[in-house]
Amino acid sequence: MKEENSSKNLLRSAKIVVAPETFALLSLTEEEWRKILEDPALSPRMTAPFMIFRDSFETTLLLDNVDFANLRKFLTDPKVETGFRLLSFDIVLPFELTGFLALISTILADAGISIVALSAFSRDHILVKQGDLSAALAALRGDVDEIC
């Protein structure tokens, strides 16, 4: 990979966008996931970011607090972790790029900040706890172009 497309250079030219919402991460049972699929009223709103990821172990949902509050009363026993803020790296990343999330993870790990890493088709995102948001932004400030 060319030097100008290295993880460090791309991070340096990236803008971090902090979503205004606070998020919850849920692990659902098969029964709860089927209940959501069968009732369109339980679907997330299309006005806030959300994620659905299903693997052979569980179905994971990332929902903002509004969608989580609407859904919570219909769930019997979800595993839930709340209080996340979503940081999006607003730069299109080439598929052959290596180490972008590793670089971000290292910067934040060195600052003692735990993350949940998320990748979309062309951009990477992380979740940090609300209480760690200021420290995470401070740790990343010198390595990115802009934070908003």
| pTM over cut 0.85 | yes
For domain 3-21+84-147, give the fold. VC0802-like (3.30.2130)
Cβ burial 57-77 (10 Å sphere, 16+ → b, else e): eebbbbbbbebbeebeeebee
pLDDT in tens, 50-90: 999 999 999 999 999 999 999 998 888 889 999 999 999 99
For residues 6-35, give the mean pLDDT.
Answer: 94
Predicted local distance difference test score (pLDDT) of residue 3: 55
How is domain 23-83 classified at the architecture level of CATH? 2-Layer Sandwich (3.30)
- Give residue 2's pLDDT: 54
SS3 35: helix
Q: What pLDDT, in 10s, does the model give residues 85-133? A: 999 999 999 999 999 999 999 999 999 999 999 999 999 999 999 999 9
pLDDT tops 90 at residue 146:
no
Is the pLDDT reported for residue 49 higher than 60? yes
Can you give the residue ranges of every domain in the chain?
Answer: 3-21+84-147, 23-83
Q: Looking at this protein, which amino acid is placed at residue 26?
A: L
Q: How many Cα atoms are found within 13 Å in the side-chain-facing hemisphere of 13? A: 9
For residue 45, pLDDT beyond 90: no
How confident is the model at residue 1, as a pLDDT? 47
| Top-confidence residue, 121 or 145 | 121
Q: How many Å apart are CA 137 and CA 148, to the nearest integer?
A: 10
pLDDT higher than threshold 60 for residue 46: yes
Residue 27 — pLDDT band, cuts 50, 70, 90? very high
